[in-house]
Structure formats: C-alpha cells, structure tokens
Amino acid sequence: MPRVRFVQQDGSGRSIEVGRDVSVMLAAVRNGIHGIDGECGGCLDCATCHVYVDEEQASSVPQPSEEELELLSAVSGERKPNSRLGCQLKVPAPLDELVVHVPARQS
Ligand code: FES
C-alpha cells in the first residue's frame, strides 16, 4: 500500500499507509499528525492543510487547480514553489511513498 511520510520542522518523521484515494490531509488528521489541521474537512475553505511536497517529488504530483492556487495565497506559513494543500493531494502512481514537510504554522 502507498505511504505518506510526514516530516516535521525538527526533522522527525512518520510514515503512514494510505489508499491512493485518501488525501494527505485525511491521512494526517486520522493519524494525529501534528501541524496539519484540515479545519474545513477538505472543502478548499481553510488552508490549514498546507504542506510542502518534497522537492525531489514535486514534479511527480499533478499540478494544483486554480482554486487550490488561489487558496495557497492565504496560507499562514511561508508559501514556497512546492506548497500544496494536503486535502487536494494524494499519493500518485507510481510513487510508493510521498514525502511532505509540515510547515512551521497553519494559522
Ligand atoms: S482542509 Fe481546508 S483547504 Fe484543505
């Protein structure tokens, strides 16, 4: 089963098995990953699911939609070229593990 590895600011990480149809945000919330809130439940309304896709994998994930790009302008932490909203992100085939970095803050 594919996995998502969540890397915290201090470098610690946790890898979680997820189905390919489960978003990074849901995987985080269901497993108590610190620093990813997902307050709106994935409705593209809160930007509290902000993550940074590992730079080596950034080209492996689908491009964000216009709606996601718009909401990314409202993230609380630093916005970077590899910023994504976890509720819009899933582990794409053929990746076995997607690595995301948790920002310093969500709100
Ligand atoms: S969970 Fe609210 S925008 Fe992603």
- The pLDDT profile of the chain, 107 residues, written as one tens digit per residue, is 999 999 999 999 999 999 999 999 999 999 999 999 999 999 999 999 999 999 999 999 999 999 999 999 999 999 999 999 999 999 999 999 999 999 999 97
What is the atom index within ligand 1 of the atom nearest the CA of 44?
Answer: 3
Q: What residues does ligand 1 touch, defined as CB less than 6 Å away?
A: 25, 38-40, 42, 44-49, 71, 85, 87
The contacts found for 12-15 with CB under 8 angstroms, 24 or more apart, are 15/97
> What DSSP designation does 30 have?
H
What is the atom index within ligand 1 of the atom nearest the CA of 88?
Answer: 4
Residue 62: both structure tokens together: 């689908």
What topology is assigned to 3-101 in CATH? Ubiquitin-like (UB roll) (3.10.20)
Q: Where are the domains of the chain?
A: 3-101
d(Cα 77, Cα 100) in Å, to the nearest integer? 14
